[in-house]
A and B are shown apart, each in its own frame.
Chain A
Amino acid sequence: MMELLPQALTDGILLGGIYITIAIAFSLTYGVMHVIDFAVGEWIMFGAFTGYYLNKWTGLDPFLFLPVIFVLYFGVGYVIQPVIHRVLSGTKGNPFLMGLVFTFGLAIMFRGLALTAFGFYSNSIPSAFSEGSFDLEPLGLTVTIPTVRLVGLCYALAITLILHYLLKKTNFGLGVRALAQHKDAAGLMGVNSKRTGSYVYGIYVGISAMTGVLLGCILSIGAQMGNEYTIFAFFVVVLAGMGYLAGVPWAALLLGLVQSIFMIYFNPSHTLLAVFAILYIILLISPRGLFGKGV
């Protein structure tokens, strides 16, 4: 069974790549706006269906539409954010809880809308990348890397690096980080919290929608697909430390590796149990995530 280890590690890393794409923007929006968006899976689902229909109507590869989908959903996020901001910045009751309830309601509404608009069947997005794989033979062992999953990992790393650059090397990023640290003080320093919040939420929705296209090429799409991804986005972000962006890739890779190794070497039916157990143990030891840097 040890000959399977390289393949198990490869599968785990590629699975981790998928989890990075799901969780990275979700973490960003929590870090800045302090909103846990329960509709993250539904943004992924909408992006997936947009990619599916664009591919169907034009016959072009869905990956070509990623910029279009980003711009389109950036616009959607930019327009919706003020509504969420209004819910979160109330003075009565518990604004944080209201944010949770509001996005949870959005998720249910979006799922219903999707069922009506797209129907109830599962589907798949064809892509040129879906064909083929790379076979490596280290030390006489065969390791297969599916092209589409490798593209997914590259996409995840590219998004991570772009976000890192945006936050650390630009004035906009400086404003975002200031806002995440202290909203009022950032405002006094000239950071427009409303507009910056709208940009961040737009970026988050845009990235999530692009992720949907990728997932549609690797896995399947359906009106009810969002729920599963919301749960995993939440897992990864909690494990990384709420709002700690740099921890997301490591947490995602850890979850991917745990899942892969458990599926291959242990009882596959206990895979999710293993994921939960590791999450709880880490949170017991370090309540602020893997690196102790969560909010």
Chain B
Amino acid sequence: MKFGFVRVLLLIAALFVAIPVHAEQRNFFKIGVITELSGDLVTGGNITKRGYDLWAQEVNAKGGIVIQGKKYPVKLVYADAQSNPAAGAAAAERLITQEKVDFILGPYSSGVTLAVAPVVDKYKIPMITGSAESPLIWKNKFKYTFGTIPPINFTGATSIKTLTEMKPAPKTIAIIGSNDAFSKATAEAYKTAAEKAKLKIVKFSIVPSGQDMTPLLSAVRSMKPDVIAFGGHDEEHVKFVKALKQIGYTPKALLMHCGITDKAFIDAVGKDGEQIFGTTCWTGTAKTKSNVLWPNAAAYAAASQKAFNNPGDYTQGGCSAAGIAFQTALQKIGAKPGMDEAMRTKLIAALEQIDVQTFYGRVKFATSGEFYHANVGLDPLTVQIQGGHVKTVGPKASVEAPAIYPMKDWKSR
């Protein structure tokens, strides 16, 4: 009995001790991908998958990553996080200890990323998430985790600023966020920016994910806010727009993040999507220039259209850019497949130093402060759906079309 108790204690202790990951000799890079391929966040998970796949296809089409004159193809090994942080952490453990991957391309959601990051830190395996946006990830200062999309507190303020420059300027705002790490952070980022812009916040609510928000929106309607801002995921956005239309309330501006820049959202809500504002850091029409894989944003959008019949959104682009960041860092240090711990440490140092222009824009990871290891090389954009297309309407330097404001009433569309 006593011996059994000791054994249990030993087993528990073993869970907290990382077994060193030994390198395997290979002539290709084996890359682990943890993302949400089932569950509530399956849409975002598959968008990240597309981004990673497109990068791998493009690299392999060129024969692989060129390291000291030799080409090494890449092979992606997927693990499903099931939209569940615990399952994501278990998947990371499996990819590292059993699949012995060289490095990891990370999850779609911030919640899963926050669960996976301690695992990759424990095993000293580099990871770049091409999607997660919660500031919490970077505040935790995980040594082995990087991200190509800037955190929402870095990007969100731009959209609020764009809205405050409208004529007549909005005075009041209602902010709603879905109750998950990313959406909550989005709502909080909008709140901070609105307070700074002296907008009166008439309502700030966090609601359980996936719920019908009609009763809450009825309450919001009675406060007649000029702007409604919502942080959530794709299916929640569809429900949100439909609920607003059903109760017959059209604010002067409706701001949503993330996923409204995807063609699928525009297809789902049709004319009701018109004039909705969004926050992003990349569009298929962004003026970018690069020497790596795709020469500019338009070339990437065309490649994506050809591969998936969809030009891709900023999440998909961020995931392809994550691949490019790894590729650039590997070339810089001359790393070959089957890296040992010393080489992986070098890779982290290289990632901290890279400053590369990609189709996605500049990738430059912060090495200190609240954005530690997040990409701070991009300029946030405010976009609006106009005529079924996503147009950049702010900041002034990036404007493609003037913003349409106030929003056209649902009934007169």
Contact = CB atoms under 8 A, between A and B. Distances in A.
Given A123-B238, A133-B246, A135-B248, A224 B39 contact: yes
Given A120-B42, A269-B206, A219 B242 contact: yes
Interface in A81-99: none
B218 A144 contact: yes
B235 A12 contact: no
- Is chain B's interface secondary structure helix, strand, loop, or mixed overall? helix
B75 interface: no
Interface residues of A, number: 46
A37 interface: no
A62 interface: no
Nearest to B233: A122
Interface string B197-222: 00000000111101111111011001
A204 to B, nearest CB: 23
A67 interface: no
Interface string A131-143: 1110100000000
Contacts of A111: 38
Interface stretch (B139-147, B264-272, B280-288, B338-346): B264-272
A271 interface: yes
Interface stretch (A168-176, A189-197, A259-267): A259-267
Nearest to A264: B219
A271 B219 contact: no
Given A115-B42, A149-B246, A122 B234 contact: yes
Interface stretch (A3-11, A245-253, A286-294): A3-11
Interface residues of B, number: 39
Contact of A222 (B214, B235, B245, B248): B235
A263 B215 contact: yes
A115 to B, nearest CB: 7
A115 B80 CA distance: 14
Interface string B215-257: 1101100100000000000110111001001111000000000
A128 to B, nearest CB: 14
Given A15-B214, A115-B38, A148-B246, A122 B235 contact: yes
B386 interface: no
Nearest to B234: A122
A18 interface: yes
Contact of A260 (B210, B215, B234): B215
A263 B268 contact: no
Contacts of A268: 205-208, 216
B365 to A, nearest CB: 30
Interface string A16-43: 0010000000000000000000000000
B247 A133 contact: yes
B352 interface: no
Contact of A146 (B205, B207, B246, B270): B246
A223 interface: yes
B164 interface: no
A218 interface: yes
B220 to A, nearest CB: 10
Nearest to B246: A146
A7 B39 CA distance: 33
Contacts of A15: 212, 214-215
15 contacts: A4-B218, A8-B215, A11-B215, A14-B214, A18-B212, A122-B235, A122-B265, A130-B245, A131-B411, A133-B247, A146-B214, A219-B212, A224-B39, A263-B216, A268-B208
Interface of B: 38-40, 42-43, 45-46, 179, 205-208, 210-216, 218-219, 222, 234-235, 237-239, 242, 245-248, 264-265, 267-270, 411
Given A3-B222, A268-B207, 12 more contacts: A8-B219, A15-B214, A122-B43, A122-B238, A126-B270, A133-B247, A148-B246, A259-B211, A268-B205, A268-B206, A269-B206, A269-B208
